Amino acid sequence: MNVILWIIAAVLALAFFAAGLMKAVQPKEKLAASGMGWVEDFSPGMVKAIGIVEVLGALGLVLPALLDIAPVLVGWAAVGLAVTMLAAIGVHARRKETKAIPVNAVLLVLAAVAAWGRLGPHAF
């Protein structure tokens, strides 16, 4: 199970790091033009903050365990990313952006499994 949890953490970390970095460094207008219509509901600072949260969550999924510094943070990073995906599902549902919801749901389930494993029976 440990290997599966590492794979889940790695997949989540890659996905959230890439998505978060894009939100943190690209202007809101460019994100909207690329299909992220939801950014219209948020200020540029809030979009960047969401991106930074995603990048930090991605780093939190792997660095504490790799560096053996407070590895319990891996589980809490997964909880934070799961909450982020719950909020994303809410935003997309409100905006009737149904195509984005399945991706958010898969990321939510993966983050929840990682949180369960690392805060429960397979903690470091």
| pLDDT value of position 77 | 98
**26 neighbors 50 (Cβ within 8 angstroms):** no
- The 10 Å Cβ neighbour count of residue 2 is 10
29 belongs to a structural domain: yes
Ranges in the chain, pLDDT < 50 = none
Residue 66 lies in a domain: yes
For residues 124 and 5, the answer to whether their CB atoms sit within 8 Å is no
52 in any annotated domain: yes
The domain of 94 spans 2-119
In a domain, 28, yes or no: yes
What pTM did the predictor assign? 0.94
- Residues listed for the chain: 124
Tally of domains within the chain? 1
Of 57, 60, 63, 55, which Cα lies nearest the Cα of 19? 55
> Residue 83 corresponds to which tokens in the numbers above?
């909450």
Question: What distance in Å separates the CA atoms of residue 32 and residue 10, rounded to the nearest whole number?
Answer: 28
Q: Tens of pLDDT along 53-76?
A: 999 999 999 999 999 999 999 999
Q: Output the pLDDT for position 79.
A: 98
Is 124 part of a structural domain of the chain?
Answer: no
pLDDT at res. 108: 98
